Structure 1
Amino acid sequence: MRASDLAGAVAEMQQLLDVQPGFVPAVLQLSIWLLAQDRYREARLLARQVALSRPASPELALQAIRLLRRFEDHERVQQVVQGVDWRQCPPDLLLTLAGELAPIALYGEARNALILAEAGLPAGDVRPLGLRATLQMIDGDSAAATASLQRVANSGSGDAARAMWLLSMQSGMAASRPAELARLEHALHAAKAGSADEVYLAYAIHNYLHASGDHGAAWTALERACKAKRMSLTYDPATHRDLFGALEALPRFDEVPLATGASQVTPVFVVGMHRSGTTLLERMLGGHPDVRDGGESYAVSAAVRHATDHYSPHVLDAELVGRLGRSHLDLTGIRYDLLEYTRWQARGRRFLTEKLPSNFLHLGVILAAMPEARVLHMRRDPMDTCFSNLRTLFSTAAPYSYDQSELADYFLGYQALMKHWHDMWPGRILDIDYQQLVDDPEGEAARIMAFCGMDPHDAVLHPSREGGAVATASLADVRSGIQKNRGGAWRPYAAQLEPLRAALSRAAGGACLN
């Protein structure tokens, strides 16, 4: 490997395993190297062998967890976690473990790891508090999250800027504007240009100013935040235009018979643009006693990667779409992978929601491989949707959302692709208008439940209920219930957003956007 001879390294490691089959460190390393060679299926098989071996060493178990995450194999991650006694582990290892588990919604396991880590750390160590606050926000405990974030923000640690940004999204933030703004502006002045700290702090300042109605200064902060974030990303609009075109050129796949691995769970895919109301819809459906709200996962992407034997760090790439178009594509394998995931994630419920918005890219595969699936497509006013994307700091999920031109281009590609799926799969996708949903939740909920085959239940009208986990940018909003009059937040910035509005309006044939 030091000589950059990956093929030679793979051959040597295979010889080692021929001598000592099942030697866990070698299996782990070989899986990683096979993945680097884009031999996805072989790599996943080895990773699953490690999970079956239940490595008792915490260090090896942590390596196995990291590897299994690359295959989105969260069930086996959970099995590995449960097979290890973590009580005597160093706090740093436990903090790393918790950081691996929280992003894949293994919240109970992440909390347990944090508790063990905190017990072994000196008093005053704030390192666990950032993740602790995130888990508290996911659980809906805003007061506890705010207290945790304040401690991190006041610590001067490397996580302080991120904590200040998270604080800016807590309820009642406008009331503390003067004190918070002074601290934020002081920190921003010291932040390195283009750094993550600059991004966090500029977004936080925008949030405070937007909430207090100082829209001129709020736009200046947002513009700086978007520019700094965009600098850190590699994104090519032309590549995504080509990707949308390639998806539209795919043939209509033949449906896999329902009898193939028949399932007792009906998967409900909630798709759309980010910030279109997908979280509200899932939160509503999650109140139904027959529904398990699964949140967001990349289970579909993992199944497609396995079927095409190609690893992409993105939801899709050109190579993967090209392999999808080949006649020997095994949709049965995709079906089995998705059935395995839904069985585990549903926890005995009859319905499972999967609300990764970008699954709209995979609808051609989803609808063919899962004839029993229901697809709910959330639509929201284009300007409301796009502006909400612009002022939301994502990780890497929406690299198109920091530039008005790129954002409009992506939105229009999404609209065209959704029309294509409707034409190709008539009657399989239910469009849900966000404004209609909040104006008439009873009527829309009844329509949605009927489409999904659910029995009517009034609990879906109470998304503000206690309990449940919400891990998206909408976590504060949806716990406040169904809120009307949320549209038009972009209007105070109409002049600055004219490039976005003009691009969307031209694509709509000159029609005036609301």
Structure 2
Amino acid sequence: MNTSSISFEAQLKSIQQLIQTAKFTDAISQSKQLLEQTSEQEEQVELWYLIAVAQRYAKENTNALNSINELLKCNNKHSRAHQEQGYNYLALNNTEQGKTAFEKAVELNPSLVASWQELIEIYRHANQQNNIQKAANHLSKLKALPPALLAVTEFMHEGKLLKAEQICRHFLQNNKHHIDGMCMLAEIGIELKIYDDAEFLLASALELAPTHIQARSLYLNLLIRLGKYKMAEQQVNTLLAEQPDNLSYKISKATILTGLGEVEDAVSLFEEVIQADDKIAGLHLQLGHALKAKGDIEKAVAAYQRAYKINPNYGDAYWSLANTKTYRFSDEEIAQMQAKREDENLAVTDKVQLHFATGKAFEDRKEFPQAFKAYQEGNDLQRANNGFDINRIEQQVDEQIKHCTPELFEKYANIGLDAPDPIFIVGLPRAGSTLLEQILASHSQVDGTMELHNILGLASRLRGRVQIKDNEESPYPKNLREINSDYFKRFGQQFIDETRAYRDNAPFFIDKMPNNFLHLGLIKLILPNAKIIDARRSPMACCFSGFKQLFAEGQDFSYSLDDIGRYYKAYLKLMAHWKQVLPDFILTVTHEDVVDDLEKQVRRMLDFCDLTFEQSCIDFHKTKRTIKTPSSEQVRQPIYKSATEQWRYFEEYLTPLKKVLNV
């Protein structure tokens, strides 16, 4: 039986007190008793750590190493466990293994002062001057930080982001314009995907300190991540004026040019950088992405192949080849991928990418049992590392239905911003949204953009920073009926202003963030004249297509057949509610209907969006624009029907999904 979180925390403090008062035997005994009572992995990790610390202080170094090994079985990225390992190896006069352990500790958490101090001594005895200098430089930077910010960096590297945020905010309340503190809080915001807060912090930091290189670099990287390429271009030009030979800034500039659609210039700049040093696998990968966005698949493939030849462990290179959707792997490549994904020392990210790439390779060869096995292994590994809980999504859906009532929309009818500019395409990923975007963006009056985070960011702000316990209701959307009604128009204007950076000059633009289906009530309140298109695909085809796709970020529900089925049902439930309370606000377009009768569905969409018919929407595959989603190659071709029933090849393995979907 699990201990309750309150009693566990209390007992943990009791054990820590025993260690502080040198009662090591009692601390070990209590920890082991508590260990038998919990099956929670995080709790087990904390207990093994305290056992190891107590054993080291008791000079039971071999036992301590055994305890650390148990801990590392639960979490091999626990930086302080590797630090403890280092102390014990040194106590046993095993300097070489001690050095390896401390180096692993600072690789995982570069803010561990004690590990750097031990490494400097080890390097000094080995007369490794270069390593001494590097370690000393890093240590001096850490020691220059105020103690609170040093603690923040430690918590950040340990993944304890909410604790890091709490300390950082408290520090900034007393040190309002501390630039390093502002940068750290922005980094935490980026990790938590609270991008608008991070953007505001970094812009403010640069107003206070225009020459602060780290703040500008962070701001640049965030703008690129958000797809705000015009703003990012200004930042990178400022940085390049200061450091014209800086490799990372040149790479950023090339990435920005790709995003701006100036792909020829981007490719030239990537090639220029590669000419200076052609042994960096990541550069060839990014060149491949630029070539793919341009539509030059043959050269993109060559760039991806070059990347894995430089670094045979580079899972992203193999996955990028698979993700062209048209590449076919050779026997030799498949053998390489299979060998690599069995390597215990390979990073989890690379291993996941190799599983998905191998799955695609076998699927193309119609070797479906092996394909499914690889997809399943990739999904299991990805899910184990993302902490997703489908219950939270189902709870969000129920809360939207409970609070977004006809009375709410009647009370606040048309008080938002009346701008008709946005066309939102929502639904599930892999449901055909990129195709619908390409069709509409082929119209002379419509700009295609990307999956914008602005509505999700607003919903996150309304939800607040409280941690919601199980079965506890979130402040949002309940607070939509409580906030000052003037805010709705302000939020609408903010959305239009913030998204200006993604647009060209057309009067309408598309936001194709699929997850926005959760927030259509909010959209209606702030932008009552917006258009919503629900991109829908038959459940089995849609869910299985998502299951075999490795997403860059944000679709954590897709890595389990059970989760993705429940997510699809939650989506249908909420869309039925929106249709009921917001009639005429949403147009549902099914992928199968588009495939069967393209012109009819094109005319339906254009009529719904109050746009005149243009033949270019039928000839969407001829439209030249940069496309960065996994479907980029499909939408450069005329409509094809072959993908609609691909899931049937895997039907015998999809029982959990069929069970959830009742099909």
Using the size of structure 2 for normalisation, the TM-score is 0.66
1:4-43 maps to which residues of 2 (within 5 A)?
Answer: 4=151, 5-6=167-168, 9-14=171-176, 17=177, 28=183
Are 2:371 and 1:214 aligned?
no
SS at match of 1:430: strand
Task: Give, in whole Å, the separation in 2 of the partners of 1:218 and 1:36.
Answer: 33
Give the direction of change, closer, same or farther, for the CA distance of 1:82–1:336 in structure 2 (3 Å limit).
farther
The match for 2:99 is none
State the Cα deviation string for residues 380-416 of structure 1 (Å, max 9, x = none): 1100001101111113321111111111111111110
The match for 2:248 is 93
| Counterpart pick for 1:399 among 534, 540, 556 | 556
Deviation for aligned residue 1:80: 3.0
The match for 1:196 is 349
SS at match of 1:489: helix
| Counterpart pick for 1:223 among 368, 376, 379 | 376
1:293-304 maps to which residues of 2 (within 5 A)?
Answer: 293-304=448-459
The match for 1:168 is 322
Give the direction of change, closer, same or farther, for the CA distance of 1:227–1:25 in structure 2 (3 Å limit).
closer
Tell whether the 8 Å contact from 1:374 to 1:428 is kept in structure 2 after alignment.
yes
Give the direction of change, closer, same or farther, for the CA distance of 1:213–1:41 in structure 2 (3 Å limit).
closer
Tell whether the 8 Å contact from 2:281 to 2:307 is kept in structure 1 after alignment.
yes
| Counterpart pick for 1:490 among 647, 654, 658 | 647
- The one-letter amino acid of 1:169's match is N
Deviation for aligned residue 1:7: 5.3
SS at match of 1:352: strand
| Counterpart pick for 1:141 among 268, 273, 296 | 296
Task: Give, in whole Å, the separation in 1 of the partners of 2:210 and 2:275.
Answer: 23
Deviation for aligned residue 1:119: 6.6
State the Cα deviation string for residues 325-365 of structure 1 (Å, max 9, x = none): 53336212210111113444332102101111111111111
Task: Give, in whole Å, the separation in 1 of the partners of 2:343 and 2:196.
Answer: 48
Deviation for aligned residue 1:367: 1.5
- The one-letter amino acid of 1:430's match is L
The match for 1:291 is 446
Give the direction of change, closer, same or farther, for the CA distance of 1:310–1:66 in structure 2 (3 Å limit).
farther
Give 5+ residue unaligned stretches, structure 1: 18-22, 506-512
| Counterpart pick for 2:542 among 365, 385, 388 | 385
- The one-letter amino acid of 2:175's match is M
Give the direction of change, closer, same or farther, for the CA distance of 1:218–1:290 in structure 2 (3 Å limit).
same
- The one-letter amino acid of 2:147's match is R
How many residue pairs get aligned? The number is 489
Are 2:484 and 1:328 aligned?
yes
Give the direction of change, closer, same or farther, for the CA distance of 1:29–1:100 in structure 2 (3 Å limit).
farther
- The one-letter amino acid of 1:173's match is Y
More moved, 203-212 vs 117-126:
117-126
Tell whether the 8 Å contact from 1:146 to 1:167 is kept in structure 2 after alignment.
yes
More moved, 84-93 vs 340-349:
84-93
Task: Give, in whole Å, the separation in 2 of the partners of 1:280 and 1:35.
Answer: 30
State the Cα deviation string for residues 294-340 of structure 1 (Å, max 9, x = none): 1211021233445666599xxxx945445445333621221011111
Tell whether the 8 Å contact from 1:271 to 1:356 is kept in structure 2 after alignment.
yes
Tell whether the 8 Å contact from 1:191 to 1:197 is kept in structure 2 after alignment.
no
The match for 2:26 is none
Give the direction of change, closer, same or farther, for the CA distance of 1:39–1:155 in structure 2 (3 Å limit).
closer
The match for 1:449 is 606
Tell whether the 8 Å contact from 1:304 to 1:334 is kept in structure 2 after alignment.
no
Task: Give, in whole Å, the separation in 1 of the partners of 2:182 and 2:382.
Answer: 38
SS at match of 2:534: strand
Structure with the greater alpha carbon radius of gyration = 2
SS at match of 2:510: strand
More moved, 26-35 vs 333-342:
26-35
The match for 2:413 is 255
Tell whether the 8 Å contact from 1:95 to 1:128 is kept in structure 2 after alignment.
no
Are 2:424 and 1:276 aligned?
no
Tell whether the 8 Å contact from 2:426 to 2:513 is kept in structure 1 after alignment.
yes
- The one-letter amino acid of 1:290's match is Q
SS at match of 1:486: helix
1:116-127 maps to which residues of 2 (within 5 A)?
Answer: 118=273, 121-127=276-282
Task: Give, in whole Å, the separation in 2 of the partners of 1:46 and 1:456.
Answer: 44
Task: Give, in whole Å, the separation in 1 of the partners of 2:268 and 2:399.
Answer: 44
SS at match of 2:658: helix
Tell whether the 8 Å contact from 1:375 to 1:428 is kept in structure 2 after alignment.
yes
The match for 2:470 is none
Give the direction of change, closer, same or farther, for the CA distance of 1:502–1:63 in structure 2 (3 Å limit).
closer
Tell whether the 8 Å contact from 2:229 to 2:501 is kept in structure 1 after alignment.
no
Give the direction of change, closer, same or farther, for the CA distance of 1:98–1:375 in structure 2 (3 Å limit).
same
Deviation for aligned residue 1:370: 0.9
Tell whether the 8 Å contact from 1:300 to 1:362 is kept in structure 2 after alignment.
yes
| Counterpart pick for 1:363 among 509, 520, 528 | 520
Tell whether the 8 Å contact from 1:206 to 1:219 is kept in structure 2 after alignment.
yes
The match for 1:242 is 395
- The one-letter amino acid of 2:535's match is M
SS at match of 1:377: strand
Task: Give, in whole Å, the separation in 2 of the partners of 1:239 and 1:336.
Answer: 30
Task: Give, in whole Å, the separation in 1 of the partners of 2:510 and 2:242.
Answer: 34
1:38-53 maps to which residues of 2 (within 5 A)?
Answer: 45-50=200-205
The match for 1:61 is 216
Task: Give, in whole Å, the separation in 1 of the partners of 2:192 and 2:356.
Answer: 39
> Percent identical across equivalent pairs?
21
Give the direction of change, closer, same or farther, for the CA distance of 1:217–1:335 in structure 2 (3 Å limit).
same
The match for 2:40 is none
Give the direction of change, closer, same or farther, for the CA distance of 1:56–1:8 in structure 2 (3 Å limit).
closer
SS at match of 2:653: coil
Task: Give, in whole Å, the separation in 2 of the partners of 1:193 and 1:36.
Answer: 24
State the Cα deviation string for residues 438-458 of structure 1 (Å, max 9, x = none): 111111101110100111101
| Counterpart pick for 1:184 among 312, 337, 345 | 337
Deviation for aligned residue 1:420: 0.8
Task: Give, in whole Å, the separation in 2 of the partners of 1:392 and 1:244.
Answer: 24
1:298-313 maps to which residues of 2 (within 5 A)?
Answer: 298-306=453-461
Task: Give, in whole Å, the separation in 2 of the partners of 1:232 and 1:496.
Answer: 23
Tell whether the 8 Å contact from 2:431 to 2:536 is kept in structure 1 after alignment.
yes
- The one-letter amino acid of 1:490's match is W
Give the direction of change, closer, same or farther, for the CA distance of 1:357–1:172 in structure 2 (3 Å limit).
closer
Tell whether the 8 Å contact from 1:35 to 1:311 is kept in structure 2 after alignment.
no
Deviation for aligned residue 1:87: 7.3
SS at match of 2:622: coil
Task: Give, in whole Å, the separation in 1 of the partners of 2:635 and 2:389.
Answer: 33
Task: Give, in whole Å, the separation in 2 of the partners of 1:407 and 1:36.
Answer: 24
More moved, 204-213 vs 32-41:
32-41
Give the direction of change, closer, same or farther, for the CA distance of 1:128–1:426 in structure 2 (3 Å limit).
same
Deviation for aligned residue 1:474: 1.0
The match for 1:508 is none
Task: Give, in whole Å, the separation in 1 of the partners of 2:213 and 2:458.
Answer: 28
